[in-house]
Amino acid sequence: MYKPFSNLSIVLTLLLLVGCNTLAAKKIWPTNLPERNIFVDAFLDNRQINFAEPEVIEAHLIWIVRFYQGTILYPNGWNRVSERFIASIDKQKVKKRMAKRVQALGILIANEWSQDNGIRRINSTHVATWGSALRTSAERADQSEYITKVEYDVKALIDGSLEPKKIDYERYYPSEDYDNF
């Protein structure tokens, strides 16, 4: 015998569970990332809109989390790379100042990199290049000079005054710097 109210109650229960799950997902934001609303606001601003469906925003935020925490294919997310970079600085005052610059730089990069492919001006190759050069700058103790170059390049990429193809490792550490025995 068909019971319409039984089926309806099952459907309603499932919808409520999905809704609760979605609400819970929105509240869970990793504590080792900048505030969630920074990225939501940038997402809306980049598209010049005031509202986006929650599913669209959540899908975008997944890319932000991947940028900071890494992925299986690229396990060295911005958090890990920048922590190592900051740890390579000896002077406490310089370390604090550099940590603020690295955090601001990470937000700029993440906001641009996480955009849809047709919109973004920073791609995964750029991020990998900067990560590799970041390690080199720590080894060579020229962290401040390196960060200044990357800050400039990131802003120039975003405003369109620098071509994306110009970003490569050689831009920061030319091959003549290496002993290619």
Measure the CA–CA gap between 72 and 144, rounded to whole angstroms.
Answer: 30
Q: In this predicted model, what pLDDT tens digit does every residue of 75-130 receive, in sequence order?
A: 889 999 999 999 999 999 999 999 999 999 999 999 999 999 888 999 999 999 99
Top-confidence residue, 129 or 15? 129
Q: In this predicted model, what pLDDT tens digit does every residue of 136-175 receive, in sequence order?
A: 999 999 999 999 999 999 999 999 999 999 999 999 999 8
pTM: 0.81
**What pLDDT does 4 receive?**
53
**What pLDDT does 177 receive?**
56
Reported as a pLDDT band with limits 50, 70 and 90, residue 19 is very low
Q: Looking at the chain, how many residues does it have? A: 181
- Please choose, from the candidates 93, 108, 111, the residue with its C-alpha nearest in 3D space to the C-alpha of residue 147: 108
Query: Residue 105's Cα: distance from chain center in Å?
Result: 10
Q: In this predicted model, what pLDDT tens digit does every residue of 22-75 receive, in sequence order?
A: 433 455 899 999 999 999 999 999 999 999 999 999 999 999 999 999 999 888
Q: Is the pLDDT of residue 11 over 70?
A: no
- Burial of 130: CB neighbours in 10 Å, binned 0-12, 13-18, 19+: buried
Alpha helices in the chain (DSSP H): 4-27, 36-47, 54-69, 78-87, 92-113, 124-140, 143-159, 169-172
Distances (CA, A) of 180 to 60, 176, 177: 42, 9, 9
